Amino acid sequence: CNVLGAGFGTQPTTNTGSSLIDSIVWVKPGGECDGTSNTSSPRYDAHCGL
């Protein structure tokens, strides 16, 4: 699902401005869904469809 009001956040970068953080990455493509708002689905996610 794509939670209402959610955004993409910080772009991937190695310029983090912190000596404690090496890089910021996206683990998967933006907009790729992990769940559904269909309550009968095994992949139901209560955060979907908010």
Centroid of chain to Cα 28: 8
DSSP-derived 3-state class of residue 44? strand
* Bigger pLDDT: 33 vs 26: 26
The residues near 38 (Cβ < 8 Å, ≥ 6 apart) are 44
Q: What is the arithmetic mean of pLDDT over 6-22?
A: 89
Higher-confidence residue of 26 and 18: namely 18
> Taking all residues of the chain, what is their mean pLDDT, rounded to a whole number?
82
Averaged pLDDT for residues 20-41: 84
Q: What is the mean pLDDT of residues 25-41?
A: 80
Predicted confidence at residue 27, as pLDDT, reads: 84
d(CA 48, CA 38): 9
Rounded CA separation 35/42 (Å): 9
